[in-house]
């Protein structure tokens, strides 16, 4: 212990005297401080750390320099020969590593404290931020700093600089994200964040920490440790390798090396929430897809929901558990059917306080065969997981939209609709009348569509509950309930009122151009604008539900300006019109309409057929006609054929509008 302490003190003194390397380390604090102070209103709470991947890269270079200098100073001082004759060789080597570990730990601790304080300007939620910032810094900064030091020290000890330094440069290059490779191997080797700029789809997620990231850093650390031990063993003579300590060290090095292999293999897979979104299409098995194409008779709703009481449980990971109490009246002597997506299991059902086991769970439906007439209180415990394409449930984020049946929706509805060209989209199932909803969260603070608050208890009226959780700002901006990641929120809050007005204008223009008038379920004004993470969802970058607009925030990352907002809205216009006039909750047996609706708007407006002709020809290629799902589709195709054959722009425009008018699922009263 005495030796360990002494070497630790000595090495620390030597470290402190390397001011030329310490100064750049401290400059990184200034850089981060500058970033937070100057840009605090323009960045979300974690964006600056997440985008500081280059600081991380500089720190690994500095760690390598420290490793090389540490190895060289023994050689240059010609002290090593004396030290090697003395006892405690291994303790000395361990103390050296420990010293660097302590120094880099102190650096990371200071950085973590600073970043937590800077992130949490008001110091109100220090604990919440510290729990994310500290692990993020220790995994992403600390572990590579120690690993690169170990490797640099070992290489410098073992090789001549003419060979050693190019090796180190190569190692740094290999572990850096500069290669921009997407293979499993380059993912495994990348010791920095997955993307140096951070993942733009994870703004709301906070600082990402996953088991893959940890294992990627850990295998490299273990590899670095084994290299360090091997390098020290290499310096020992054959005879010295036979002593007990050398044998223990050798065994440890081999075990570390072997232990690093499975971790390295494990880290070749994506574990990032951002990437998983793209990869998670496992839900689309043939059975589900065939069922989506089956004919379906929409059942009327027996009863009317008076009150929906939801309590979200404190389940971890991507498991969603909740308790639902549904008060229904007007029940007739017929089965009551709820639509609840099939990935959710029903634990138990109670009707008016009595356990009820005779319910049927069939696909996306819960059927209560013999409900009491009049009023009933139905209690259900639900638990299940959602694919990213359908909603978001992670450790600290939620995106549960009212249009998707993650909660029991009264009536028998079809959840997934087929779209021509093998695509699918979710049906909007919440376009009924608003009802009372009480929502309690045991998963921490959430945002809902029930009020403009952030909290755990909500009461309000809506056509269905929306639950949003994550690093979001939430507020009432001139009567608009605006939700967005902090950086976007502060950037756009001055301009956000433009969005509902602009979209309303588009809607009116479209109504006029197809000659219809908005029916009852189109609202007068959108008063909820939720810039959330729709990335990976089946319906693209905009979803409309009554007065609620759900927009994918990744399209709103650039600094706000009126022109920019107009451009974004213009880009969203076709999908927005599809949302307003086709995906309205009304069940339509058409797989052509959702596919061509947005393109047809453009064709109708410009009179240009674009690539429709080519597209149309392709449908009739070998086996392609099988894509057509419904009988109605054939009529639609013939309409498209008519459009393809049209010659003048006026004719094209006229036919396109006619088709659109036919496809529209809202009341065409004009």
Could you give the CA distance from residue 218 to residue 193 in angstroms, rounded to a whole number?
A: 14
Closer to other proteins by Cβ: residue 5 or 645: 5
Q: Which of 79, 422, 558, 638 binds other proteins (CB under 8 A)?
A: 79
Residue 491 Cβ vs other proteins, minimum distance, rounded to whole Å: 50
Beta carbons within 8 Å of 201's beta carbon, 6+ residues apart = 274, 277, 533, 535, 536, 554
Residue 153 Cβ vs other proteins, minimum distance, rounded to whole Å: 16
Residue among 461, 505, 330, 468 nearest 394 (CA): 468
Could you give the CA distance from residue 293 to residue 101 in angstroms, rounded to a whole number?
A: 60
Residue 242 Cβ vs other proteins, minimum distance, rounded to whole Å: 9
Classify strands 446-448 and 435-441 as parallel, antiparallel or unpaired: unpaired
Candidates 75-83, 315-323, 603-611, 617-625; binding stretch for other proteins (CB under 8 A) = 75-83
- Per CB under 8 A, 162 contacts other proteins: no
Q: How far is CA 357 from the centre of its chain?
A: 37
Candidates 198-206, 234-242, 335-343, 433-441; binding stretch for other proteins (CB under 8 A) = 234-242
Closer to other proteins by Cβ: residue 6 or 304: 6
HSE, CB side, 13 Å, CA atoms: give it for residue 230.
14
Burial call 55-84: b when 16+ CB within 10 Å, e when fewer: bbbbbbbbbbbbbbbbbeebeeeeeeeeee
- Per CB under 8 A, 239 contacts other proteins: yes
Residue among 225, 216, 217 nearest 251 (CA): 225
Residue among 131, 144, 135 nearest 62 (CA): 144
Residues 590-629 that bind other proteins (CB under 8 A): none
Q: Which of 121, 180, 183, 243 binds other proteins (CB under 8 A)?
A: 243
Closer to other proteins by Cβ: residue 70 or 148: 70
Q: Which of 50, 92, 201, 412 binds other proteins (CB under 8 A)?
A: 92
- Per CB under 8 A, 3 contacts other proteins: yes
Site size toward other proteins, by CB under 8 A: 28
- Per CB under 8 A, 14 contacts other proteins: yes
- Per CB under 8 A, 37 contacts other proteins: no
DSSP class per residue in 375-414: EEEEEEEEEEE--TTT-EE-SS-EEE-TTS-SS-EESB--
Residue 219 Cβ vs other proteins, minimum distance, rounded to whole Å: 33
Q: Which of 13, 347, 505, 567 binds other proteins (CB under 8 A)?
A: 13
Residue 10 Cβ vs other proteins, minimum distance, rounded to whole Å: 5
Candidates 10-18, 47-55, 535-543, 544-552; binding stretch for other proteins (CB under 8 A) = 10-18
- Per CB under 8 A, 21 contacts other proteins: no
| Token pair of 560 as six digits | 């706000």
Could you give the CA distance from residue 103 to residue 62 in angstroms, rounded to a whole number?
A: 12
- Per CB under 8 A, 20 contacts other proteins: no
Residue 251 Cβ vs other proteins, minimum distance, rounded to whole Å: 18
Q: What is the length of the chain?
A: 670
Closer to other proteins by Cβ: residue 239 or 295: 239
- Per CB under 8 A, 649 contacts other proteins: no
HSE, CB side, 13 Å, CA atoms: give it for residue 20.
3
Residue 399 Cβ vs other proteins, minimum distance, rounded to whole Å: 57
Closer to other proteins by Cβ: residue 71 or 646: 71
DSSP class per residue in 601-615: HHHHHH---TTHHHH
HSE, CB side, 13 Å, CA atoms: give it for residue 392.
25
**Residues of the shown chain interacting with other proteins in the complex, contacts defined by CB under 8 A:** 2-3, 6-7, 10, 13-14, 17, 73, 76-79, 81-88, 92, 237-240, 243, 245
């Amino acid at each position: 212990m005495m030796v360990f302490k002494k070497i630790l003190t000595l090495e620390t003194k030597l470290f402190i005297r390397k001011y030329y390397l310490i100064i750049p380390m401290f400059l990184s604090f200034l850089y981060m401080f500058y970033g937070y102070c100057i840009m605090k209103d323009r960045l979300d709470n974690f964006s600056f750390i997440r985008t500081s991947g280059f600081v991380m890269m500089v720190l690994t270079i500095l760690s390598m320099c420290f490793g090389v200098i540490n190895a060289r100073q023994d050689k240059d001082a010609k002290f090593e020969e004396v030290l090697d004759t003395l006892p405690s060789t291994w303790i000395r080597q361990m103390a050296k590593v420990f010293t660097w570990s302590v120094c880099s730990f102190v650096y990371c601790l200071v950085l973590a404290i600073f970043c937590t304080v800077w992130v949490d300007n008001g110091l109100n939620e220090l604990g919440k931020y510290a729990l994310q910032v500290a692990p993020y810094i220790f995994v992403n900064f600390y572990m590579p700093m120690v690993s690169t030091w170990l490797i640099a020290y070992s290489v410098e000890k073992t090789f001549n600089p003419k060979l050693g330094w190019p090796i180190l440069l190569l190692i740094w290059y290999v572990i850096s994200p500069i290669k921009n490779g997407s293979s499993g191997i380059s993912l495994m080797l990348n010791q920095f964040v997955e993307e140096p700029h951070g993942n733009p789809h994870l703004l709301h997620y906070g600082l990402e920490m996953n088991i893959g990231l940890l294992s990627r850093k850990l295998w490299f650390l273990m590899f670095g440790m084994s290299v360090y031990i091997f390098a020290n063993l290499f310096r020992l003579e054959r005879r010295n390798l036979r002593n007990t300590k050398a044998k223990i060290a050798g065994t440890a090095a081999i075990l570390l090396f072997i232990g690093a292999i499975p971790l390295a293999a494990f880290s070749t897979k994506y574990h990032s929430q951002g990437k998983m979104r793209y990869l998670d299409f496992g839900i689309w098995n043939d059975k589900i897809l065939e069922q989506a194409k089956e004919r379906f008779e929409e059942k009327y709703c027996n009863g009317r929901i008076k009150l929906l009481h939801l309590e979200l449980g404190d389940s971890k990971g991507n498991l969603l558990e909740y308790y639902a109490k549904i008060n229904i009246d007007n029940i007739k002597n017929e089965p009551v059917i709820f639509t609840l997506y099939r990935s959710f299991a029903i634990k138990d059902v109670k009707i008016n306080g009595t356990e009820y086991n005779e319910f049927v769970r069939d696909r996306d439906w819960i059927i209560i065969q013999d409900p009491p007439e009049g009023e009933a209180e139905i209690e259900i415990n639900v638990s299940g997981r959602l694919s990213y394409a359908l909603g978001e449930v992670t450790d600290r984020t939620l995106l549960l939209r009212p249009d998707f049946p993650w909660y029991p929706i009264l009536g028998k509805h079809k959840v997934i609709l087929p779209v021509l060209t093998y695509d699918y989209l979710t049906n909007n199932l919440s376009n009924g009348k608003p009802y009372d909803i009480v929502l309690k969260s045991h998963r921490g603070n959430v945002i809902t569509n029930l009020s403009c608050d952030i909290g755990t208890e909500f009461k309000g009226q809506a056509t269905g509950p929306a639950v949003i959780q994550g690093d979001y700002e939430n507020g009432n901006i001139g009567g608009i309930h605006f939700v967005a990641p902090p950086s976007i929120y502060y950037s756009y809050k001055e301009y956000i009122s433009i969005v509902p007005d602009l979209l309303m204008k588009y809607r009116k223009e479209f109504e006029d151009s197809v000659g219809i008038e908005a029916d009852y379920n189109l609202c007068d004004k959108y008063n909820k604008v939720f810039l959330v993470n729709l990335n990976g969802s089946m319906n693209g970058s905009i979803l409309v539900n009554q007065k609620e607009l759900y927009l994918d925030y990744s399209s709103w990352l650039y600094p706000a300006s009126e022109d920019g907002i107009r451009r974004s809205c213009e880009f969203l216009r076709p999908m927005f019109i599809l949302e307003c006039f086709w995906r309205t909750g009304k069940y339509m047996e058409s797989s052509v309409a959702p596919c061509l609706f947005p393109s047809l708007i453009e064709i109708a407006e410009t009179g240009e057929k674009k690539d429709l002709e080519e597209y149309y020809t392709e449908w009739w290629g070998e086996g392609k006609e099988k894509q057509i799902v419904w009988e109605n589709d054939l009529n639609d195709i013939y309409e498209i054929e008519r459009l393809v054959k049209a010659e003048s722009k006026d004719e094209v425009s006229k036919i396109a509008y006619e088709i659109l008018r036919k496809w529209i699922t809202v009341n065409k009263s004009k």
